Amino acid sequence: MSVRTEPTTGLQFVELSHPWEHNQPVLPGFDELILYRSVNHAKHGVMSQKFKTTFHTSTHVNAPIHLIQGGKGVGELDLDRFWGTGIVLSIPKSKWQLISVEDLEPSAKYLKEDDIVLINTGWHQRYADSQEYFGHSPGLSEEAAQWLVDKKVKMVGVDTPQVDHPLATSLGEHRNGPTMKRLAPQYQQETGRKASEDYPDWIPAHKLLLKHGIPTIENVGGDLNTVTGKRCTFHAMPWRWNEGDACVVRLMAISDPSGKYRIETGDN
């Protein structure tokens, strides 16, 4: 458990990001994250690195421009979108399950306008370069996304590789898919239903959130279980990249047990 306490203030910091590194798990269909040293200590006495990647890797925030033509980029959004109080909801889910309005309703009494909402399905514990993590994950239903919009939250994070059910993405039979060719046949074999009929629309929950200016964070991870069920202050600042569709972030939960600094105590 990586909870760190700042000795002077007593503020507690909890890591909620996956590492960003060589051999990073990458969504099928995306290019690999390539890191290489342009100079190194042995030859040059200094190290400097270059990288080539899509910014939709590891723990990252998506801006409206990602899916909404004319939407704002990460650097154009107000900074307070990426900093503020909120809650981590425990909504355990298994293979291909949807997060529904009924799952969210019990949290209504704890939720406040302009909250940052993180959803812990337990899927972050499966984070890996695997068909299971990317292809079998749970997802947010369109109705659940509308519920969050109606509650006027300011950012939503999920511990899954995509906001929507994987069969409502290009992993299934949508857009440039299927990028996981065995996924839809496997779904039909196991459920007796066609994925194209159960999930006819392409990423409806994600589009709905971004349409309303609500940034999303995918691949929330780290010590998420430590702060689940608690109110915290969250920090997830992206680069000042005005046209950026997404950006890797260092997502942190911050709590103030003493109550001296006017941020959440971290209590349940």
pLDDT in tens, 242-253: 999 999 999 999
- The residues spanned by each domain of the chain are 3-19+55-164+203-255
* 118 band by pLDDT with thresholds 50, 70 and 90: very high
Instruction: Count, in order, helices (H) and strands (E) of the chain.
Output: 8, 14
Q: How far is CA 204 from CA 28, 60, 157, 230, 246, in A?
A: 20, 19, 16, 28, 18
User: What residue ranges in the chain does DSSP mark as E strands?
Assistant: 3-5, 12-15, 34-39, 48-52, 60-62, 83-90, 98-99, 116-120, 139-140, 155-158, 216-218, 231-235, 246-248, 252-255
Residue type, 198: D
User: What pLDDT, on the 0 to 100 scale, is given for residue 160?
Assistant: 98
Q: For residues 162 and 119, is the Cβ–Cβ distance under 8 A?
A: no
Name, in order, each residue with C-beta under 8 angstroms of 216's C-beta and a sequence gap of 6 or more: 61, 62, 155, 156, 157, 158, 163, 206, 209, 210
* 23 band by pLDDT with thresholds 50, 70 and 90: confident
Say which DSSP state 124 is in: G
User: What pLDDT, on the 0 to 100 scale, is given for residue 262?
Assistant: 72
Q: Calculate mean pLDDT across residues 159-172.
A: 98
Q: Smallest Cα–Cα separation from 60: which of 223, 255, 239?
A: 239
Where is pLDDT greater, at 163 or 21? 163
User: What residue ranges in 110-211 does DSSP mark as E strands?
Assistant: 116-120, 139-140, 155-158
Phi, psi of 91 (to 5 degrees): -135, 75
Name, in order, each residue with C-beta under 8 angstroms of 217's C-beta and a sequence gap of 6 or more: 59, 60, 61, 62, 118, 155, 156, 157, 158, 236, 249, 251
User: What pLDDT, on the 0 to 100 scale, is given for residue 268?
Assistant: 67
Q: How far apart are the first and last CA of the chain?
A: 18
Looking at 3.40.50.2000, 3.10.20.30, 1.20.1090.10, 3.50.30.50, the CATH number of the domain 3-19+55-164+203-255 comes to: 3.50.30.50
Task: Using the predicted structure, report yes or no on whether residue 40 has a pLDDT greater than 70.
Answer: yes
Q: Smallest Cα–Cα separation from 28: which of 126, 129, 136, 127?
A: 129
Cα-Cα-Cα-Cα torsion 142, 87, 217, 95, nearest 10 degrees, comes to: -60
